[in-house]
Structure 1
Amino acid sequence: MRPTRRTFARWLGTGLLAGMGGVRCGLSGTGGRPVTFQMGLRTAWAPGEAQRGRFTTDTGWQVELTAARMLLGPIYLFENPSPLQGSLTRRLWQDMGGLLLPTAHAHETFFSGGRVLGEWDREVVFDLLEGGGAAHVLGRSPGIAGTVRSFSLLLQPASAGVQGSVASLEGHSVVLEGKASREGRTVAFRAGLDFPPPVEMQRVEFVPSEVELDDDGVFIVEPKPHVWFSGAHFDRLEAPAGGGPVTVTPESQVYRALFINLRRHTAFSSAWEPVP
């Protein structure tokens, strides 16, 4: 049977509760104390830019997003480092961690992030262009004090109980609108991306992190739209006969680049900010 999002959340939630249960029982070697932290979202700046949603791609297109919304969550914070960082030390640490630390996975080929230190077990609609430099705080969450070395999240269609304006997504998981310019040519575009089941096609996993989780702070997940457009060739989009923005269809090269890049471990980053 294929793992579903619900099973994924149940397995990880079980791992978090088991880890915290070990702390409450005073078992040695199980890690830190229980903490309550806040989960937040904030769009990452592109290098050298002074405005969110503005960046230059590796294919030479200057992109300016005029709308960017997405549905993401749940979010899980892991003690094990990402095996995708390529560091021999981290890979060895992960191998040792798998032997010495309690893990949250119920299926080795499905989940190998190690102990869950914290989670945000809900979905949320996030406007990537809203606000200034402050994080959009989702709320408080229980966790275990320790170093978060990787995290994962899910991208998927809206379901009942989602926070925020689901209607703005028009049934998609991610909506991106804007214009791309290069060598005197400008392409206005609109992309609505979908991440249907199975869960393997929705999961963004092993995102590297190096954050000390504790009380009175915000763990910030940072979407990186400037990374999502890597390899995108806007000149391959067909402009509509009547003018106006190009609809980025699933058959297009730009859509395929976005669909792949959004699920890479480089598509997001993390930060920690203490609460004053």
Structure 2
Amino acid sequence: MTSPLHTTRRAFTWMLGTALVGGASACGLSGTGGRGVIFRMGLRTAKAPGEESPGEFTTDTGWRIRLSSGVMVLGPIYIFENASPLEPTASAPRVLQRLGQWLLPTAHAHDGHFFSGGTVLGEWDREVVFDLLEEAGEVRELGRSPGIAGLARSFSLLLQPPSRALGAEGAALGGRSMILEGTASRQETHVPFRMALDFPPPVELQRVDFVPIAAELDEGGRFVVEVQPHRWFDGAHFDRVTVPEGGGVVDLTPDTQVYRALTLNVRRYTAFAGTWEPA
């Protein structure tokens, strides 16, 4: 029997798929929701506030980032009925909100619900290679997805290395989960960088949980997962990066502070957002 602490990706997908089927029956007993619907699923790279390009932004440490390329593997995606327990509230002091983000475990199965997400209202059960800059902030539509009509309050997704199912598109990543290239600048300092991130199993270390949303799922609409690279560089200190004499691109490896910052930030619920577009 699979240990709950070492859930495989296949078991994770099976459990949530079962929850979606079971939830359809349960939801039919309450409210106006519960109808089976088909909606569309999409991806988009969000722009930072006040920016014209999704690949340009200024970090909280004062570095101006210009991404020249960015490719990642993400999915499956699951949309839940329950609100995110990590969603900030006006009454909670900011310091306590941050403390909760660090201390709250990523998996909270209780009351028969995997993840504490409650009923699964929608899903995209495949992985996809996504180019952060290719669509210039426009939606890349993935396809049609089965779901249950009703208010969705959170979603979760997986980050992982590319599988063979992705073919040549996935092979181009060389087994890495995400590859970013760009330049970080502050005053007269410029740091050209390349970073290849890994998110290997177990699945607990690949999940991005409890992203807050307010989406009234219904027939024919579109749910868009927004990738937010401007959130990934919070706390990244490029002044701790050693640039080779004579310049050149710096390969940011796991022993660098910037790499560690991104590894943490990309798996936080703030790294992504979700919007609903009615039909």
Structure 1 length normalisation: TM-score?
A: 0.88
Please give the alpha-carbon distance, in whole angstroms, between the structure 2 residues aligned to 1:192 and 1:249.
Answer: 8
Give the deviation of 1:32 after TM superposition: 2.5
Partner of 1:127: 131
Query: Aligned to 1:161, what secondary structure does the other structure show?
Result: helix
Please give the alpha-carbon distance, in whole angstroms, between the structure 1 residues aligned to 2:111 and 2:127.
Answer: 24
Partner of 1:33: 35
Partner of 1:98: none
Residues 37 and 143, structure 1, Cα contact 8 Å, conserved in 2: yes
1:137 and 2:136 correspond: no
Listed one character per residue, the Cα deviations across residues 174-210 of structure 1 (whole Å, up to 9, x for unaligned) are 1110001001110000000001111111100000111
Give the deviation of 1:115 after TM superposition: 0.6
Partner of 1:261: 265
Please give the alpha-carbon distance, in whole angstroms, between the structure 2 residues aligned to 1:109 and 1:273.
Answer: 27
Residues 123 and 163, structure 1, Cα contact 8 Å, conserved in 2: no
Partner of 1:47: 49
Residues 228 and 262, structure 1, Cα contact 8 Å, conserved in 2: yes
Partner of 2:240: 236
Partner of 1:157: 161
115 and 30 in structure 1: CA distance in 2 versus 1, 3 angstrom threshold: farther
Give the deviation of 1:125 after TM superposition: 0.2
165 and 234 in structure 1: CA distance in 2 versus 1, 3 angstrom threshold: same
Give the deviation of 1:20 after TM superposition: 1.8
Matches within 5 A, 1:163-178: 165-178=169-182
34 and 180 in structure 1: CA distance in 2 versus 1, 3 angstrom threshold: same
Please give the alpha-carbon distance, in whole angstroms, between the structure 1 residues aligned to 2:198 and 2:207.
Answer: 13
Please give the alpha-carbon distance, in whole angstroms, between the structure 2 residues aligned to 1:28 and 1:65.
Answer: 47
Q: Which amino acid aligns with 1:63?
A: I
Partner of 1:183: 187
Q: Which amino acid aligns with 1:174?
A: M
Q: Hey, which bits of structure 1, 4+ residues long, moved more than 2 A?
A: 26-32, 86-89, 105-110, 240-243
Unpaired segments ≥5 residues, structure 1: 90-104
Partner of 2:78: 76
Give the deviation of 1:44 after TM superposition: 0.5
Unpaired segments ≥5 residues, structure 2: 92-108
- Among 217, 220, 236, which residue is 2:221 paired with? 217
Give the deviation of 1:28 after TM superposition: 4.2
Q: Which amino acid aligns with 1:169?
A: L
RMSD: 2.3
Q: Which amino acid aligns with 1:161?
A: A
Residues 19 and 30, structure 1, Cα contact 8 Å, conserved in 2: no
Partner of 1:192: 196
Give the deviation of 1:228 after TM superposition: 0.1
Alignment coverage as a number of residue pairs: 260
Residues 124 and 164, structure 1, Cα contact 8 Å, conserved in 2: no
Partner of 1:67: 69
Residues 43 and 222, structure 1, Cα contact 8 Å, conserved in 2: yes
